[in-house]
Amino acid sequence: MADSRETVNHHAFVVGFPIRHSRSPLIHGHWLKTLGIAGTYEKIEVAPEDFAGFVANLKSGALGLCGGNVTIPHKESAYRLADATDALTDELGAANTLWLEDGRLKATNTDGIGFLANLDDRRPGWDRAAKRAIVLGAGGASRAVIQALRERGFREIHVVNRSLDRALELADRFGPRVHGHRMDACAEVMQGADFFVNTTSLGMAGSPAPALPFSTLAPNAVVTDIVYVPLKTDFLAQAERVGLATVDGLGMLLHQAVPGFEKWFGQRPVVDQSLRDLIIADLKEHP
């Protein structure tokens, strides 16, 4: 039976604290318009102490919403409060996508999907060697990246972080192919590596980032950054100066949004140049 606009809930959200700078409404609004879907996608700011109540109201149907995205600082709480999760989300202990199905709140995490899809789109074959990857940072954003790289088949994943304990904690969580190091070991582990990703806020909004020996990476190495403001971060500029291929972080934001949109609105959207241009224009106007 075909869906009826009167019986299908096409109202979704992104929730966080703060939430005013989120580009998710712009992304999903573009797809709703392009695909001709009579739906809505709104920003909702919820303080941490109020998040459990928000989820309870979502589950009850009182909010009139079918699901949505979850961003900082609610991802771990969203995972704990969901009725059903998948294996990927269970390992991460964090969820960024929620939807109501058969009266239950289900959860998954699409950050790793978005991370890989961006690289596959912008630099096909980036993982051909899949030997050694360097992950800078051991915060929440690094978990999905490490998991994605492990599942893509990298033999060694070296997590470099200011706090060794945090890096070792991730090595324990994600298995024997993952190794933790202090920041002062970065130059050593970068030698001959095939892939480098920054998962920290270093370089965000044009702030300075430390100089790293990108010239010691393998000649065919790829360097990426999950920071996308600015599009060309200091780390990407350093890598380009020594002739390495780079991928900006904007595509991760765009591609991670695809599975959620399909869950809530019933059609799979496409990440194309028109969407990139739309978000880039907004970033220039509201950096």
Selecting among 43, 75, 106, 263, the annotated active-site residue is 75
Distance spanning both ends of the chain, measured CA to CA: 45
With 0-12 CB in 10 A as exposed, 13-18 as middle and 19+ as buried, what is 183?
middle
Q: What is the 3-state secondary structure (H, E, C) of the chain?
A: CCCCCCCCCCEEEEEECCCCCCCHHHHHHHHHHHHCCCCEEEEEECCHHHHHHHHHHHHHCCCCCCEEEECCCCHHHHHHHCCEECHHHHHHCCCCEEEEECCEEEEECCHHHHHHHHHHHHCCCCCCCCCEEEEECCCHHHHHHHHHHHHHCCCEEEEEECCHHHHHHHHHHHCCCEEEEEHHHHHHHHCCCCEEEECCCCCHHHCCCCCCCHHHCCCCCEEEECCCCCCCCHHHHHHHHCCCEEECCHHHHHHHHHHHHHHHHCCCCCCCHHHHHHHHHHHHHCC
- The verdict on whether 131 is a catalytic residue reads no
Active-site annotation, residues: 75
